[in-house]
Amino acid sequence: MSVLAAIAVLAVLIVVHEMGHFLAARLQGIHVNRFSIGFGPVLWKYQGPETEYALRAFPLGGFVGFPDDDPDSPIPPEDPDLLRNRPVLDRAIVISAGVIANLLFAYLVFVAQFSVVGVPNGFNVQPGVLIPQVMSADSPAGQAGIKEGDVILAVDGESLGEGEAAEKKLMAAIVASPNQPLDLQVQRGDRQLILTVTPKPDNQGVARIGVVLNPNGTVEFRRPTGVGEILILSAKEFQSMFTRTVEGFVSLVTNFSSVAGQVAGPVKIVEQGASLASTDAFNLFPFTAIISINLAIINILPLPALDGGQLAFLLVEAVRGKPLPSRFQENVMQTGLMLLLGLGIFLIVRDTTQLEFFRRLLQ
Protein backbone atom coordinates (compact mmCIF):
# COMPACT_ATOMS: atom_id res chain seq x y z
CA MET A 1 0.00 0.00 0.00
CA SER A 2 2.88 2.39 0.79
CA VAL A 3 4.35 1.77 -2.68
CA LEU A 4 1.02 2.65 -4.29
CA ALA A 5 0.87 5.82 -2.18
CA ALA A 6 4.34 6.89 -3.37
CA ILE A 7 3.41 6.17 -7.01
CA ALA A 8 0.21 8.17 -6.54
CA VAL A 9 2.27 11.12 -5.25
CA LEU A 10 4.43 11.11 -8.39
CA ALA A 11 1.34 10.86 -10.61
CA VAL A 12 -0.31 13.80 -8.85
CA LEU A 13 2.82 15.95 -9.22
CA ILE A 14 3.00 15.21 -12.94
CA VAL A 15 -0.66 16.17 -13.33
CA VAL A 16 -0.07 19.38 -11.34
CA HIS A 17 2.87 20.35 -13.55
CA GLU A 18 1.09 19.73 -16.83
CA MET A 19 -2.10 21.32 -15.54
CA GLY A 20 -0.11 24.49 -14.93
CA HIS A 21 0.88 24.65 -18.61
CA PHE A 22 -2.65 23.73 -19.70
CA LEU A 23 -4.47 26.32 -17.59
CA ALA A 24 -1.96 29.08 -18.42
CA ALA A 25 -2.68 28.49 -22.11
CA ARG A 26 -6.46 28.09 -21.91
CA LEU A 27 -6.92 31.10 -19.62
CA GLN A 28 -5.17 33.21 -22.27
CA GLY A 29 -7.33 31.74 -25.04
CA ILE A 30 -4.43 29.80 -26.59
CA HIS A 31 -5.36 26.63 -28.48
CA VAL A 32 -4.41 23.31 -26.81
CA ASN A 33 -5.06 20.05 -28.62
CA ARG A 34 -3.43 17.46 -26.30
CA PHE A 35 -3.08 16.86 -22.57
CA SER A 36 -1.17 13.63 -21.88
CA ILE A 37 0.13 11.98 -18.76
CA GLY A 38 3.02 9.71 -19.71
CA PHE A 39 4.70 9.02 -23.04
CA GLY A 40 4.45 6.34 -25.69
CA PRO A 41 1.36 4.31 -26.73
CA VAL A 42 -2.04 5.60 -25.63
CA LEU A 43 -3.76 3.45 -22.99
CA TRP A 44 -6.87 5.62 -22.61
CA LYS A 45 -8.06 8.83 -24.17
CA TYR A 46 -11.02 11.16 -24.25
CA GLN A 47 -11.65 13.68 -27.01
CA GLY A 48 -13.07 16.93 -25.68
CA PRO A 49 -14.41 19.79 -27.82
CA GLU A 50 -10.86 20.94 -28.61
CA THR A 51 -8.41 18.91 -26.50
CA GLU A 52 -7.57 15.20 -26.40
CA TYR A 53 -6.93 13.92 -22.86
CA ALA A 54 -4.81 10.74 -22.67
CA LEU A 55 -2.97 8.33 -20.39
CA ARG A 56 0.10 6.76 -21.98
CA ALA A 57 2.16 3.66 -21.36
CA PHE A 58 5.35 5.14 -19.87
CA PRO A 59 4.59 7.28 -16.77
CA LEU A 60 7.86 9.22 -16.83
CA GLY A 61 6.26 12.62 -17.22
CA GLY A 62 3.66 14.17 -19.46
CA PHE A 63 3.10 16.90 -21.99
CA VAL A 64 0.66 19.54 -23.20
CA GLY A 65 0.42 19.60 -27.01
CA PHE A 66 -0.38 22.58 -29.20
CA PRO A 67 -1.77 22.49 -32.76
CA ASP A 68 0.91 24.86 -34.09
CA ASP A 69 2.88 22.13 -35.86
CA ASP A 70 0.05 19.62 -36.35
CA PRO A 71 -0.42 19.21 -40.14
CA ASP A 72 -3.93 17.80 -39.55
CA SER A 73 -5.09 20.72 -37.45
CA PRO A 74 -8.04 22.65 -38.96
CA ILE A 75 -6.77 25.85 -37.33
CA PRO A 76 -5.22 28.21 -39.95
CA PRO A 77 -1.49 28.99 -39.44
CA GLU A 78 -2.14 32.69 -39.07
CA ASP A 79 -4.64 32.25 -36.19
CA PRO A 80 -3.59 34.73 -33.47
CA ASP A 81 -4.48 32.21 -30.75
CA LEU A 82 -1.85 29.69 -31.81
CA LEU A 83 0.95 29.61 -29.26
CA ARG A 84 3.66 30.54 -31.76
CA ASN A 85 1.73 33.64 -32.85
CA ARG A 86 1.49 35.03 -29.33
CA PRO A 87 3.91 37.63 -27.89
CA VAL A 88 7.01 36.36 -26.07
CA LEU A 89 5.52 37.20 -22.66
CA ASP A 90 2.37 35.12 -23.29
CA ARG A 91 4.47 32.14 -24.34
CA ALA A 92 6.82 32.58 -21.37
CA ILE A 93 3.83 32.46 -19.01
CA VAL A 94 2.66 29.18 -20.54
CA ILE A 95 6.10 27.58 -20.42
CA SER A 96 6.91 28.67 -16.85
CA ALA A 97 3.44 27.84 -15.48
CA GLY A 98 4.34 24.19 -14.79
CA VAL A 99 7.21 25.23 -12.53
CA ILE A 100 5.04 27.80 -10.77
CA ALA A 101 2.29 25.20 -10.28
CA ASN A 102 4.72 22.75 -8.63
CA LEU A 103 6.09 25.42 -6.28
CA LEU A 104 2.61 26.60 -5.33
CA PHE A 105 1.50 23.01 -4.81
CA ALA A 106 4.48 22.37 -2.49
CA TYR A 107 3.44 25.34 -0.36
CA LEU A 108 -0.17 24.09 -0.25
CA VAL A 109 1.08 20.66 0.84
CA PHE A 110 2.68 22.31 3.88
CA VAL A 111 -0.59 24.16 4.53
CA ALA A 112 -2.39 20.80 4.45
CA GLN A 113 0.25 19.20 6.69
CA PHE A 114 -0.02 21.82 9.44
CA SER A 115 -3.82 21.79 9.14
CA VAL A 116 -4.21 18.00 9.33
CA VAL A 117 -1.22 16.82 11.38
CA GLY A 118 -0.80 19.91 13.55
CA VAL A 119 2.06 22.18 14.56
CA PRO A 120 5.25 20.64 16.01
CA ASN A 121 5.30 21.15 19.78
CA GLY A 122 8.34 19.40 21.16
CA PHE A 123 10.28 16.20 20.57
CA ASN A 124 9.94 12.97 22.57
CA VAL A 125 13.59 11.87 22.66
CA GLN A 126 14.49 8.18 22.53
CA PRO A 127 17.90 6.42 22.67
CA GLY A 128 20.00 6.15 19.54
CA VAL A 129 20.36 7.85 16.15
CA LEU A 130 17.78 7.35 13.40
CA ILE A 131 18.86 6.62 9.80
CA PRO A 132 16.12 8.16 7.61
CA GLN A 133 18.06 7.71 4.37
CA VAL A 134 20.89 5.59 2.98
CA MET A 135 22.43 7.44 0.03
CA SER A 136 23.09 4.40 -2.14
CA ALA A 137 23.58 0.65 -1.99
CA ASP A 138 27.24 1.20 -2.93
CA SER A 139 27.93 3.49 0.03
CA PRO A 140 29.76 2.04 3.06
CA ALA A 141 26.46 1.96 4.95
CA GLY A 142 24.66 0.23 2.08
CA GLN A 143 27.40 -2.38 1.78
CA ALA A 144 27.27 -2.96 5.53
CA GLY A 145 23.55 -3.72 5.34
CA ILE A 146 22.29 -0.58 7.09
CA LYS A 147 18.70 0.23 6.04
CA GLU A 148 16.49 3.28 6.14
CA GLY A 149 14.58 3.31 9.43
CA ASP A 150 17.39 1.64 11.40
CA VAL A 151 18.34 3.12 14.78
CA ILE A 152 22.02 3.00 15.78
CA LEU A 153 22.28 2.51 19.54
CA ALA A 154 26.02 2.01 20.11
CA VAL A 155 29.41 2.17 18.37
CA ASP A 156 32.07 -0.43 19.25
CA GLY A 157 30.08 -1.35 22.34
CA GLU A 158 29.77 2.23 23.62
CA SER A 159 26.22 3.54 23.98
CA LEU A 160 25.44 6.72 22.02
CA GLY A 161 22.85 8.03 24.43
CA GLU A 162 20.02 10.11 23.00
CA GLY A 163 19.15 13.37 21.26
CA GLU A 164 21.57 15.63 19.41
CA ALA A 165 24.42 14.51 21.67
CA ALA A 166 24.02 10.96 20.33
CA GLU A 167 24.08 12.23 16.74
CA LYS A 168 27.27 14.25 17.36
CA LYS A 169 28.91 11.28 19.09
CA LEU A 170 28.18 8.99 16.14
CA MET A 171 29.43 11.58 13.64
CA ALA A 172 32.64 12.04 15.63
CA ALA A 173 33.24 8.28 15.68
CA ILE A 174 32.75 8.05 11.91
CA VAL A 175 35.01 11.02 11.11
CA ALA A 176 37.73 9.66 13.41
CA SER A 177 37.74 6.22 11.72
CA PRO A 178 38.61 6.53 8.00
CA ASN A 179 39.12 3.07 6.48
CA GLN A 180 38.70 1.50 9.95
CA PRO A 181 35.80 -0.85 10.73
CA LEU A 182 33.18 0.21 13.27
CA ASP A 183 30.79 -2.23 14.94
CA LEU A 184 27.33 -0.68 15.14
CA GLN A 185 24.57 -1.95 17.40
CA VAL A 186 21.43 -1.44 15.31
CA GLN A 187 17.77 -1.60 16.31
CA ARG A 188 15.62 -2.76 13.39
CA GLY A 189 12.00 -3.17 14.40
CA ASP A 190 11.98 -5.60 17.32
CA ARG A 191 15.45 -7.00 16.49
CA GLN A 192 18.94 -5.86 17.42
CA LEU A 193 21.85 -6.46 15.03
CA ILE A 194 25.59 -5.88 14.99
CA LEU A 195 26.69 -4.48 11.64
CA THR A 196 30.24 -3.58 10.68
CA VAL A 197 30.76 -0.48 8.56
CA THR A 198 34.02 1.00 7.26
CA PRO A 199 33.89 4.79 6.73
CA LYS A 200 35.49 6.04 3.52
CA PRO A 201 37.05 9.50 3.00
CA ASP A 202 35.23 11.80 0.56
CA ASN A 203 36.90 14.24 -1.85
CA GLN A 204 37.72 16.55 1.07
CA GLY A 205 39.25 13.69 3.05
CA VAL A 206 36.40 13.53 5.58
CA ALA A 207 35.29 10.01 6.51
CA ARG A 208 31.66 9.24 5.61
CA ILE A 209 29.38 6.20 5.56
CA GLY A 210 26.73 7.61 3.21
CA VAL A 211 23.69 8.15 5.41
CA VAL A 212 21.52 10.94 6.78
CA LEU A 213 21.49 11.12 10.58
CA ASN A 214 18.60 12.31 12.75
CA PRO A 215 18.01 12.21 16.51
CA ASN A 216 15.77 9.28 17.37
CA GLY A 217 12.34 10.04 18.75
CA THR A 218 8.87 11.26 17.86
CA VAL A 219 7.60 14.77 17.26
CA GLU A 220 4.67 15.92 19.38
CA PHE A 221 2.01 18.11 17.76
CA ARG A 222 -0.62 20.63 18.85
CA ARG A 223 -3.54 22.19 17.06
CA PRO A 224 -2.70 25.44 15.21
CA THR A 225 -3.93 28.65 16.78
CA GLY A 226 -5.46 29.83 13.51
CA VAL A 227 -5.14 30.20 9.77
CA GLY A 228 -2.46 32.86 10.12
CA GLU A 229 -0.12 30.53 12.00
CA ILE A 230 -0.63 27.81 9.39
CA LEU A 231 0.18 30.17 6.51
CA ILE A 232 3.26 31.63 8.22
CA LEU A 233 4.68 28.25 9.26
CA SER A 234 4.01 26.87 5.78
CA ALA A 235 5.90 29.77 4.21
CA LYS A 236 8.87 29.24 6.55
CA GLU A 237 8.96 25.49 5.88
CA PHE A 238 8.65 26.05 2.13
CA GLN A 239 11.49 28.59 2.16
CA SER A 240 13.72 26.28 4.17
CA MET A 241 13.11 23.26 1.95
CA PHE A 242 13.45 25.30 -1.26
CA THR A 243 16.79 26.74 -0.08
CA ARG A 244 18.15 23.31 0.89
CA THR A 245 17.04 21.86 -2.45
CA VAL A 246 18.74 24.62 -4.43
CA GLU A 247 21.91 24.12 -2.38
CA GLY A 248 21.73 20.42 -3.24
CA PHE A 249 21.57 21.20 -6.96
CA VAL A 250 24.51 23.60 -6.61
CA SER A 251 26.50 20.84 -4.91
CA LEU A 252 25.60 18.51 -7.76
CA VAL A 253 27.18 20.96 -10.22
CA THR A 254 30.20 21.99 -8.16
CA ASN A 255 31.01 18.60 -6.61
CA PHE A 256 29.41 16.12 -8.99
CA SER A 257 31.70 13.16 -8.30
CA SER A 258 30.86 13.01 -4.61
CA VAL A 259 27.08 13.39 -4.93
CA ALA A 260 26.35 11.75 -8.31
CA GLY A 261 25.31 8.54 -6.57
CA GLN A 262 22.55 10.46 -4.79
CA VAL A 263 20.77 11.31 -8.07
CA ALA A 264 17.54 9.32 -7.95
CA GLY A 265 15.20 8.15 -10.67
CA PRO A 266 11.51 7.24 -10.40
CA VAL A 267 12.19 3.80 -8.89
CA LYS A 268 14.40 5.19 -6.10
CA ILE A 269 11.93 7.99 -5.41
CA VAL A 270 9.08 5.50 -5.07
CA GLU A 271 11.23 3.29 -2.81
CA GLN A 272 12.07 6.23 -0.54
CA GLY A 273 8.46 7.39 -0.47
CA ALA A 274 7.23 3.89 0.35
CA SER A 275 9.77 3.62 3.16
CA LEU A 276 8.63 6.92 4.65
CA ALA A 277 4.94 6.02 4.28
CA SER A 278 5.43 2.63 5.93
CA THR A 279 6.92 4.38 8.98
CA ASP A 280 4.24 7.06 9.21
CA ALA A 281 1.67 7.93 6.53
CA PHE A 282 1.98 11.61 7.48
CA ASN A 283 5.57 11.53 6.15
CA LEU A 284 4.02 11.69 2.68
CA PHE A 285 3.38 15.42 3.23
CA PRO A 286 7.03 16.54 3.33
CA PHE A 287 7.92 13.84 0.77
CA THR A 288 5.36 15.26 -1.66
CA ALA A 289 6.55 18.82 -1.06
CA ILE A 290 10.23 18.10 -1.62
CA ILE A 291 9.60 16.08 -4.79
CA SER A 292 7.38 18.88 -6.11
CA ILE A 293 10.11 21.45 -5.42
CA ASN A 294 12.72 19.20 -7.05
CA LEU A 295 10.50 18.79 -10.11
CA ALA A 296 10.14 22.56 -10.39
CA ILE A 297 13.87 23.24 -10.10
CA ILE A 298 14.80 20.50 -12.56
CA ASN A 299 12.36 21.85 -15.13
CA ILE A 300 13.58 25.44 -14.85
CA LEU A 301 17.17 24.44 -15.65
CA PRO A 302 18.19 25.84 -19.08
CA LEU A 303 18.55 22.39 -20.65
CA PRO A 304 17.08 21.16 -23.96
CA ALA A 305 13.63 19.53 -23.73
CA LEU A 306 12.99 21.13 -20.33
CA ASP A 307 10.91 24.24 -19.64
CA GLY A 308 14.10 26.14 -18.89
CA GLY A 309 15.48 25.30 -22.33
CA GLN A 310 12.37 26.68 -24.01
CA LEU A 311 12.55 29.81 -21.87
CA ALA A 312 16.17 30.22 -22.98
CA PHE A 313 15.03 30.17 -26.61
CA LEU A 314 12.41 32.82 -25.78
CA LEU A 315 15.06 35.00 -24.12
CA VAL A 316 17.23 34.79 -27.24
CA GLU A 317 14.19 35.69 -29.35
CA ALA A 318 13.42 38.69 -27.15
CA VAL A 319 17.02 39.93 -27.50
CA ARG A 320 17.31 39.25 -31.26
CA GLY A 321 13.84 40.47 -32.11
CA LYS A 322 13.13 37.24 -33.96
CA PRO A 323 13.16 33.53 -33.09
CA LEU A 324 15.98 31.13 -33.83
CA PRO A 325 15.38 28.94 -36.90
CA SER A 326 12.66 26.37 -36.23
CA ARG A 327 14.79 23.53 -37.54
CA PHE A 328 17.60 24.39 -35.11
CA GLN A 329 15.21 24.52 -32.15
CA GLU A 330 13.64 21.19 -33.11
CA ASN A 331 17.03 19.49 -33.41
CA VAL A 332 18.18 20.79 -30.04
CA MET A 333 14.94 19.76 -28.34
CA GLN A 334 14.90 16.28 -29.90
CA THR A 335 18.52 15.70 -28.91
CA GLY A 336 17.80 16.86 -25.38
CA LEU A 337 14.72 14.65 -25.16
CA MET A 338 16.70 11.58 -26.22
CA LEU A 339 19.40 12.36 -23.64
CA LEU A 340 16.80 12.83 -20.88
CA LEU A 341 15.03 9.59 -21.81
CA GLY A 342 18.39 7.82 -21.84
CA LEU A 343 19.20 9.19 -18.39
CA GLY A 344 15.76 8.18 -17.15
CA ILE A 345 16.18 4.61 -18.40
CA PHE A 346 19.68 4.43 -16.87
CA LEU A 347 18.39 5.59 -13.48
CA ILE A 348 15.47 3.15 -13.60
CA VAL A 349 17.77 0.22 -14.38
CA ARG A 350 20.36 1.27 -11.78
CA ASP A 351 17.81 1.87 -9.02
CA THR A 352 15.91 -1.34 -9.82
CA THR A 353 19.08 -3.45 -9.55
CA GLN A 354 19.74 -1.85 -6.15
CA LEU A 355 16.36 -2.85 -4.74
CA GLU A 356 16.69 -5.43 -1.98
CA PHE A 357 14.37 -8.01 -3.55
CA PHE A 358 16.24 -7.73 -6.87
CA ARG A 359 19.61 -8.24 -5.19
CA ARG A 360 18.22 -11.33 -3.47
CA LEU A 361 17.16 -12.74 -6.85
CA LEU A 362 20.72 -12.38 -8.10
CA GLN A 363 22.20 -14.13 -5.08
**153 CB-side CA count, 13 A:** 12
The average pLDDT across 2-17 equals 79
pLDDT in tens, 305-321: 788 888 988 998 888 88
Structure-model confidence comparison of residues 72 and 261, the more confident one: 72
The average pLDDT across 217-245 equals 90
Domain boundaries, given as residue ranges, for the chain: 2-30+86-115+293-362, 122-222
Structure-model confidence comparison of residues 216 and 262, the more confident one: 216
Burial of 253 (0-12, 13-18, 19+ CB in 10 A): exposed
The average pLDDT across 70-89 equals 87
Annotated active-site residue in 18, 167, 237, 271 = 18
Enumerate residues 6+ apart whose C-beta is below 8 A from 62: 14, 15, 17, 18, 35, 36, 37, 38, 39
Supply the pLDDT for residue 267.
47
Going by pLDDT thresholds of 50, 70 and 90, the confidence category of residue 163 is confident
Report whether 12 contacts 45 (CB < 8 A). Answer: no
Confidence (pTM): 0.74
pLDDT in tens, 20-38: 999 999 999 999 999 998 8
- CA pair distance 149, 279, nearest whole angstrom: 8
- CA pair distance 272, 322, nearest whole angstrom: 46
Report whether 153 contacts 130 (CB < 8 A). Answer: no
User: Rounded to 5, what percent of the chain is helix, strand, coil?
Assistant: 55, 25, 25
Supply the pLDDT for residue 183.
93
Structure-model confidence comparison of residues 47 and 355, the more confident one: 47
Report whether 110 contacts 285 (CB < 8 A). Answer: yes
Supply the pLDDT for residue 228.
93
pLDDT in tens, 325-343: 777 777 777 776 666 666 5
pLDDT in tens, 258-308: 444 555 545 455 455 555 555 556 778 888 888 898 889 888 888 777 888
Q: What angle do CA 177, 272, 211 make, to 5 degrees?
A: 10
Supply the pLDDT for residue 35.
93
Q: Is 18 a catalytic residue?
A: yes
The CATH code of the domain at 122-222 is: 2.30.42.10
The average pLDDT across 137-163 equals 89
Burial of 303 (0-12, 13-18, 19+ CB in 10 A): middle
